[in-house]
Amino acid sequence: MTDKVKDQKWLDLFLDIIEKAYLGYDFHLDKTLFRLEPTLVRPVDFHKRDVLHSSYGSLLRALDPIFKNLASSEVYRANTGWIAKGINGHNGRKIRRITVGEDVFLLPNLSKQPTIGIDTSGCQDGSTIMVICSIPDYEGAYVWLEKHLKLPKDLMKNEFHWAKLNQHYKRLLLDNFELVLAVCCDSLLVLKSNAFRDRRGKMETIFVNLVSGCFSGFDNDLFQVDLRNKLKQRFFRAVNGVAVHCDDDFTPLSPGRVVRLLVHTLAKQSKNYFESYTPLFAQLYSHESKPIQIADIIAGMVKVMLENKTVTLLRSLPFDLRKLPNYADCMPKAYFWVNEKV
């Protein structure tokens, strides 16, 4: 067996463990069967001596010593290492790397294409939370909610719904807020406003100005100007030419119209100049759309965190009130989260 073939063999084994451990599938190694529970894999798992007392731990202990020795260097090698090759794609498979605090996890990229989920959640003060979630792998995120957290679904429509969860599962999600965000999203825009219910103008105009007010204004603050430009570009790249799943929460605007307005607004660079853009609306109901269900869970989590004033991960994004002067008495609030520094 040539060195190149051996390298491929070890890389395939590496990716196979990540995928089957995450999905909780049976794993065959030589003549031994390991019945794996859904597990988040860490890079260090492949070469450390102390491993978990579980089927996954037993699998790691049974790995070929040659594989373990190689893993101590090949897992981390920049550009050409196993993680890098997995992220770029190898033999039809891809992985994701997420960081939560000091922990690094490796996840399979099951859908291999990003999506957007948009949903809302009503607050006790009469305002509404709207979340725009950039979801890098909706299939993987759904597996996380279903198999790892074991969230129950609404029996009527067979879908995840924050409002139908009991306090145990809501607490489980809130206690793992950072990890849930990292698994489900790579960026998140949050708007809190009563303009969705207290409509002081046309809903179409209100929606456009809510979005644009997150990225305009504050021209005398160089930090804000730079931040807002970078965020607008990031969210434009996230929504442009990508399937956007939107719940039907913006009456009289249809979900398809909401998607078009969102992409159009983010494409606008100046009064008369728009970047080339392509709105793609995924015409599915919430029980048919995994991205909407994921966004619903995130919206519910964010709502509770904002109401309890316990949000530390979301960064405030000052709103340009010039866009909605009729709401000076109840100014919209905006927040964002991204999985890397902006």
Question: How do residues 221-254 score in pLDDT, each as one tens digit?
Answer: 999 999 999 999 999 999 999 999 999 999 999 9
Among candidate residues 108, 138, 160, the one where a domain is terminated: 108
Q: What is the pLDDT of residue 269?
A: 86
Q: What is the pLDDT of residue 53?
A: 77
- Shared domain for 178 and 322, answered yes or no, is yes
- Shared domain for 152 and 70, answered yes or no, is no
Domain CATH code at residue 160: 3.30.420
The end-to-end CA distance of the chain, in Å, is 46
- Shared domain for 267 and 128, answered yes or no, is yes
Q: Write out the residue range of the structural domain in which residue 295 sits.
A: 115-338
Q: Higher-confidence residue: 180 or 8?
A: 180
- Shared domain for 187 and 266, answered yes or no, is yes
- Shared domain for 279 and 152, answered yes or no, is yes
Q: What is the pLDDT of residue 310?
A: 80
What mean pLDDT is predicted for residues 204-220? 94
Does residue 335 register a pLDDT over 80?
yes
For the stretch 99-140, pLDDT in tens is 998 999 999 999 989 999 999 999 998 899 999 999 999 999
- Shared domain for 138 and 84, answered yes or no, is no
266: number of Cβ within 10 Å: 27
Instruction: Report the mean per-residue pLDDT for the chain.
Output: 92
**Using CA atoms, how far apart are residues 181 and 313, in angstroms rounded to an integer?**
10
pLDDT band at 5 (very low <50, low <70, confident <90, very high): low
Among candidate residues 93, 108, 123, the one where a domain is terminated: 108
- Shared domain for 64 and 194, answered yes or no, is no
For the stretch 29-53, pLDDT in tens is 989 999 999 999 999 998 876 666 7
Buried b (16+ CB within 10 A) or exposed e, 4-30: eeeeeebbebbbbbbbbbbebeebeee
